């Protein structure tokens, strides 16, 4: 039996074209112990694949030239060497862009195409839905009454994020790339508003649809759109970096701005970046004084001071702090204790 | 009774000089109900004050011209109109850069100068210590064996962060601004290594002292140093944005790079920025399929597909996704189901 398969032929320089891929016909694999042979019915096409086309490190290993293109698929089992998996059953698998795939049964998920169609298992009930749901609920942490901004709002993940956010009581603003997409986002997905980023003055329009600022930004695109939205963040805002599709093409690292490069690191290395002011966290550290006092008493923490003496030394102490003259904690003794 | 007081005289243009401040003598205030009159003994001098000198919004309201300079102080109570607070008792208060202060007793913290000196109450046991402790433990979340990088390592907060990190089992690398500071950081504070950022090739030296990359970066300085450290982050790294002292002076917003401006927003608005890949969060969402399935069945989530048909449509679907042609979830049906 033969298997049509699309493989990675040439690393793209900027915008990928059809020349990046080639097709070949190979023999269908034979399942080993614990494996199943599947016939792909529907394959998923996802933007993260673009990131895998770079040679440099990303969150998944880069594609090798000649490698079959990976991807989720809904498939039916043609032959099984795994107990509990029967010929004819439907599964969601990493089937790739090919007609047949041999996969470990352990990594296959049985699905019921009678209750939901293939597209739903690859969409809201698949990785796409999990991305939207987990990213919004676990990182975005929406609270009733907050404003949620979603870029790539007409896309598979973005459209779900906004709908989930609405159910959780947020005001939801989408950003998308055409008037028609914005119409779909508003009328079909029920977002409160949607802005076409191709129209002029995104900053001004954002301000008018987010008069109370932005609390959560679920970012699928990166670049200039992200700069505009982040500038409107309220205190304690959450930026969920899910994708940077505007950066996947064309811009090589050297051309990206420092912020774009930083966002790429945040995404691909799954960083958490958080700004804080001590008063935000004070209530969360009831053990602080006892712990720190114990360390000081036990000599486990070295406390180094940069003391000065006299009221007139306050300003020089501050200026010295900014110019890097001081080491340790800057304090100024301005009066002697009286005996209590 | 008279009170010497330093007030904000002129907004600095770049590096503050002594001309930013002026001194005046005012009458000592009279405590009202629930207030105490305190005599400042030791005042704390902290870099965050620089941020308050800008006119634009920061995490605290900007200083007004003519306003007395605020700041933490160790003081003794001169007169009390608050039950439980007695003349002669020592307190840590927002006393400001002046000889006397009237404050609400509720906001005063009684301290014992016999067990720890004033500098300790303003340092490791004060806001400085809380900043280091809370930022590192609650945001940095150190794990045994991880690498922690701390900028401003010779400073009050940075020196504590590294010492706490060592106790928690991290390998700790400091960054500071002179050979002497680096010596103190290594020899007195016990960091594993400390790099002088004024010497050439910080990137190369970082690589040699962090051969396994960086897991936590506690940032007190921002700017180019931060760019060098963030480039060395491992997956799931945490960037604790505590201060940006390199950015407080000189650079006006228009001159700052996009990343510096982004970091300023992260700090002043206390944002959380987190990159993720769906597989990182999968285990955390056991309720996902039931919840999403329920929403879909109830029609609460609109699932929009961008379907195509035929094997030869896989590549065009992917290219269309990147060029913004698609709306909703992109899938390609490549085969019909057989009856099971």
* Closest in A124, A236, A278 to B301, CB measured: A124
Q: What is the mean pLDDT of residues B14-30?
A: 94
The answer to whether B59 contacts A130, with C-beta atoms less than 8 Å apart, is no
Higher pLDDT: B165 or A283? It is B165
What pLDDT, on a 0 to 100 scale, did the predictor assign at position B163?
97
Report the alpha-carbon distance of residue B210 to residue B47 in Å, rounded. Answer: 28
Identify which of A18, A171, A34 has the alpha carbon closest to the alpha carbon of residue A97.
A18
The answer to whether B303 contacts A120, with C-beta atoms less than 8 Å apart, is yes
Identify which of B328, B323, B329, B334 has the alpha carbon closest to the alpha carbon of residue A18.
B323
* Closest in B39, B42, B322 to A249, CB measured: B322
Mutant choice from A276, A300, A337 vs B, greatest count of B C-beta within 10 A: A276
What tokens does B71 get?
């700041």
Name the average pLDDT for chain A. Answer: 92
Q: What is the mean pLDDT of residues A270-278?
A: 92
Q: Binning pLDDT at 50, 70 and 90, where does residue A249 land?
A: low
Report the alpha-carbon distance of residue B237 to residue B243 in Å, rounded. Answer: 18
- The DSSP result for B269-316, as a single string, is TT-EEEE--HHHHGGG-TTHHHHHHHHHHTT-S---EEEEESGGGHHH
Residues of A with Cβ-Cβ distance to B159 under 8 angstroms: 302, 304, 328
Residue A127 Cα, gap to closest chain B Cα (Å): 7
**pLDDT at position B80 over 80:** yes
Residues of B with Cβ-Cβ distance to A245 under 8 angstroms: 322
Residues of A with Cβ-Cβ distance to B47 under 8 angstroms: 321-322
**pLDDT at position B253 over 80:** no
Of the listed ranges A84-88, A335-339, B54-58, the one predicted with least confidence: B54-58
Residues of B with Cβ-Cβ distance to A330 under 8 angstroms: 44-46, 156
The answer to whether A272 contacts B274, with C-beta atoms less than 8 Å apart, is yes
**pLDDT at position B58 over 80:** no
What pLDDT, on a 0 to 100 scale, did the predictor assign at position B78?
96
* Closest in B134, B155, B258 to A258, CB measured: B258
The answer to whether B116 contacts A265, with C-beta atoms less than 8 Å apart, is no
Q: Helix (H, G, I), strand (E, B), or coil: what is residue A41?
A: strand
Please give the C-alpha separations between residue B10 and each of A314, B7, B60, B65, in angstroms, as whole numbers: 17, 9, 18, 6
The answer to whether B272 contacts A273, with C-beta atoms less than 8 Å apart, is yes
* Closest in B39, B88, B128 to A329, CB measured: B128
The answer to whether B233 contacts A269, with C-beta atoms less than 8 Å apart, is yes
The answer to whether B281 contacts A47, with C-beta atoms less than 8 Å apart, is no
**pLDDT at position B251 over 60:** no
Chain A residue whose CA is closest to B247: A322
Q: Binning pLDDT at 50, 70 and 90, where does residue B59 land?
A: low
pLDDT in tens, A85-132: 999 999 999 999 999 999 999 999 999 999 999 999 999 999 999 999
Q: Binning pLDDT at 50, 70 and 90, where does residue B125 land?
A: very high
What pLDDT, on a 0 to 100 scale, did the predictor assign at position B201?
95
Report the alpha-carbon distance of residue B320 to residue A132 in Å, rounded. Answer: 21
Q: What is the mean pLDDT of residues A279-293?
A: 89
**pLDDT at position A253 over 60:** no
pLDDT in tens, A165-211: 999 999 999 999 999 999 999 999 999 999 999 999 999 999 999 99
Identify which of A44, A45, A62, A43 has the alpha carbon closest to the alpha carbon of residue A53.
A62
What pLDDT, on a 0 to 100 scale, did the predictor assign at position B57?
67
Report the alpha-carbon distance of residue B96 to residue B25 in Å, rounded. Answer: 14
Please give the C-alpha separations between residue A144 and each of A148, A172, A197, A233, in angstroms, as whole numbers: 10, 11, 27, 17
Higher pLDDT: A195 or B252? It is A195
Identify which of B189, B18, B229 has the alpha carbon closest to the alpha carbon of residue A328.
B189
Higher pLDDT: A283 or A21? It is A21
Select, from the ranges A137-151, A223-237, B234-248, the one with the highest average predicted confidence (pLDDT): A137-151
Name the average pLDDT for chain B. Answer: 92
What pLDDT, on a 0 to 100 scale, did the predictor assign at position A323?
86
The answer to whether A278 contacts B130, with C-beta atoms less than 8 Å apart, is yes
Residues of A with Cβ-Cβ distance to B164 under 8 angstroms: 301
Q: Binning pLDDT at 50, 70 and 90, where does residue B61 land?
A: confident
> What domains does chain B contain, in order, with CATH numbers?
2-116 (3.90.180.10), 127-278 (3.40.50.720), 284-333 (no CATH)
pLDDT in tens, A18-56: 999 999 999 999 999 999 999 999 999 998 898 888 887
Residues of A with Cβ-Cβ distance to B41 under 8 angstroms: 333-337
Residues of A with Cβ-Cβ distance to B266 under 8 angstroms: 273-275
Residues of B with Cβ-Cβ distance to A41 under 8 angstroms: 333-337
The answer to whether A119 contacts B331, with C-beta atoms less than 8 Å apart, is yes
């Amino acid at each position: 039996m033969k298997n049509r398969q699309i493989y990675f032929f040439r690393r793209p320089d900027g915008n990928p074209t059809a020349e990046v891929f080639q097709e070949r016909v190979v023999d269908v694999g034979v399942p080993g112990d614990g494996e199943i042979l599947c016939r792909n019915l529907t394959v998923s096409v996802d933007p993260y694949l673009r990131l895998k086309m770079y040679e440099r490190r990303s969150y998944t290993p880069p594609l090798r030239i000649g490698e079959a293109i990976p991807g989720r698929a809904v498939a039916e089992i043609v032959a099984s060497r795994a107990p509990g998996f029967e010929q004819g059953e439907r599964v969601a698998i990493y089937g790739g862009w090919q007609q047949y795939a041999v996969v470990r049964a352990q990594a296959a998920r049985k699905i019921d195409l009678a209750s939901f169609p293939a597209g739903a298992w690859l969409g809201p009930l698949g990785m796409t839905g999990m991305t939207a749901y987990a990213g919004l609920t676990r990182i975005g942490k929406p609270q009733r009454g907050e404003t949620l901004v979603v870029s790539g709002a007409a896309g598979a993940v973005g459209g779900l994020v906004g709908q989930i956010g609405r159910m959780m009581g947020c005001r939801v603003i989408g950003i998308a790339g055409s008037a028609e997409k914005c119409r779909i986002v508003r009328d079909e997905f029920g977002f409160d508003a949607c802005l076409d980023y191709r129209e002029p003055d995104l900053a001004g329009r954002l301000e008018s649809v987010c008069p109370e600022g932005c609390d959560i930004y679920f970012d699928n695109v990166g670049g200039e759109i992200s700069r505009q939205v982040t500038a409107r963040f309220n205190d304690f805002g959450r930026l969920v970096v899910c994708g940077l599709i505007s950066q996947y093409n064309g811009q090589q690292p050297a051309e990206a701005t420092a912020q774009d490069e930083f966002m790429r690191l945040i995404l691909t290395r799954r960083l958490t970046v958080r700004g804080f002011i001590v008063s935000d966290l004070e209530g969360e550290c009831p053990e602080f004084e006892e712990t720190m006092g114990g360390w000081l008493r036990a000599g486990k923490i070295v406390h180094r001071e940069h003391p000065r003496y006299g009221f007139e030394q306050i300003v020089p102490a501050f200026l010295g702090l900014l110019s890097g003259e001081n080491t340790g904690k800057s304090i100024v003794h301005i009066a002697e204790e009286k005996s209590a």
